């Protein structure tokens, strides 16, 4: 989980967690290249959304993708 802090005009900071990831962060989690992550998103193989022209990913969707890949591997082994 990522954390970010916003400085308020009143002089205090608000810190929040973010479950929105950039392609480079997803690539680090999956141990693949950023280009591979972008290709997966373009093909709709991993759930993603765009902010302008930038891909973004919810951490829960990345976790779901990982679980789906595990299920696919288990199914192949069981055949």
User: Which tokens is 61 given?
Assistant: 């969707």
pLDDT > 90: what percent of the chain? Answer: 67
What local confidence, expressed as pLDDT, does residue 18 receive?
72
Domain-wise residue ranges, the chain: 19-78
Average pLDDT for residues 10-19, to the nearest whole number?
65
State the pLDDT at residue 77.
81
20-52 pLDDT per residue, tens: 899 999 999 999 999 999 999 999 999 999 999
Mapped to the 3 state alphabet, what secondary structure does 44-74 carry? CCCCCEEECCEEEEEHHHHHHHHHHHHHHHH
- pTM equals 0.75
Query: What pLDDT score was predicted for residue 75?
Result: 85
59-78 helix and 23-30 helix, angle to the nearest 10 degrees:
30
């Amino acid at each position: 989980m990522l954390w970010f802090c916003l400085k308020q005009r009143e002089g205090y900071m608000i810190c929040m967690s973010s479950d929105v990831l950039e392609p480079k962060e997803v690539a680090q989690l999956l141990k693949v290249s950023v280009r591979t992550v972008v290709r997966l998103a373009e093909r709709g193989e991993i759930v993603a959304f765009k902010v302008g022209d930038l891909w973004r990913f919810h951490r829960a969707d990345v976790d779901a993708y990982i679980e789906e890949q595990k299920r696919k591997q288990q199914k192949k082994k069981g055949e």
